[in-house]
Amino acid sequence: MIDLQPILQAGVEAGRAPGFSAAVTTRDGGRVTACAGARGLDNPRPMTPDTLFWIASCTKAITSVAALQVVERGLIDLDAPVGGRLPALAAPRVLTGFDAAGAPVTRPATRPITLRGLLTHTSGLGYDFCCADLAAWLAATGGAMMGAGEPDIPLMFEPGEAWQYGIGIDWAGRLIEAVTGQGLDAWCAEHIFAPLGMADTTFFPDAAQAARKASVHQKAPDGTLTAIPFGMPSTPHFMMGGAGLYATASDYLTFLGALLAGGAPLLKPETFAVMMQNQVGALDAGALKSTQPMMSLDFEPLAGHVRRHGLAGLVNPDPVPGRRSAGALAWAGLANCYYWADPAAGVAGAVFAQVLPFADPGIVATFDEVERVVYA
């Protein structure tokens, strides 16, 4: 039997995080969960399998599956312009630079934004924490990404021309709502969480769930950890589809188990096959260059390997020695939550912490160690 607890405990003792929770499937189809440390420096209760984490961008894979469910029902098309349903995206503009006075210069985009572009981060929409041009545009205009409403930002490039991590899947969540007439939370609860029995995955934790949340921490450059106040809004908000979920590591593994099962019972086999295929051609995907080091460090997943993007996350066309097979899916969440799903090998795993900035080298090393143990 795989024993993950020593890996997690070593991470706690090394000061990587106050606590970890992990859940993996093994080659024989078994499930292994492990925890170490405490829920927070301000919450000495032990980390347990039912501890809730803000999983941030691990939400994206779930929203992407929800979007593909809506495609299967014929309510939207992957390659149709989304502007008819999302007026704010009907006439996008592309940032071309800044004039001598520092004012941004834009031009109309010549291609429409599509759902495929939103799901693959090729729409041109960005995040300011990992896009210097967008950060500069916000500084010049006084704009904001995290307000209650829809961010009014330009595209960083013509749709389809590049890969840039951004708010596309938040917009995909809005598209789901527009075509179904349901809130994204209601759609996911009915069509993903209930069928899989994911009772502890939610956009809006109830009182009992909130009492089981791990605290979010800020790590200083010297490694000092401090618990910080943090919580996603208690009402529907723009960032739901890309970053809004809370979950346990065990619940998230249940979702990954559906991916190991070829998408069942969430997606048709043919839809799942397309979801897992490279959708970005020769574009390199996954690397992030931070503009806000307190929020995220530079991220270089699978460094040295070919990285592409499917319709639900990062995919690797080639095997990674000692780790995942070709065709695996992976991504992460801002507070250092990480996962992978490898249908070819029949294994998957999630390792969750609650520490900023993202891409903490020590926590990434803990995740890598867990993955390697599963394959070893």
Match 């989304």 to its residue by tokens.
Answer: 82
What are the residues facing 341 on neighbouring strands? 329, 348
Calpha distance 22→43 (Å, rounded): 19
Which residues are catalytic, by number? 57, 60, 165
Please spell the DSSP secondary structure of 265-300, one letter per residue: TTS-HHHHHHHTS--STT-----B--S-TTTB--B-
Amino acid at 177: E
Residue 212 buriedness (CB in 10 A; 0-12 / 13-18 / 19+): middle
Calpha distance 238→233 (Å, rounded): 10
CA atoms within 13 A on the CB side of 138: 20
Distance of CA 351 to the CA centre of its chain: 13
Distance of CA 3 to the CA centre of its chain: 26
Task: Tell me the helices (H) and strands (E) count for the chain, helix number first.
Answer: 12, 15
Q: How far is the CA of 64 from the CAs of 169, 186, 349, in angstroms?
A: 7, 15, 19
Q: How far is the CA of 113 from the CAs of 159, 239, 282, in angstroms?
A: 6, 18, 20
Nearest to residue 212, comparing CAs of 35, 63, 375, 58?
35
Q: Is the peptide bond before 265 cis (omega within 30 degrees of 0)?
A: yes
Calpha distance 351→359 (Å, rounded): 13
Q: Which two tokens stand for residue 193?
A: 């969480």
Calpha distance 252→208 (Å, rounded): 19
Calpha distance 330→339 (Å, rounded): 6
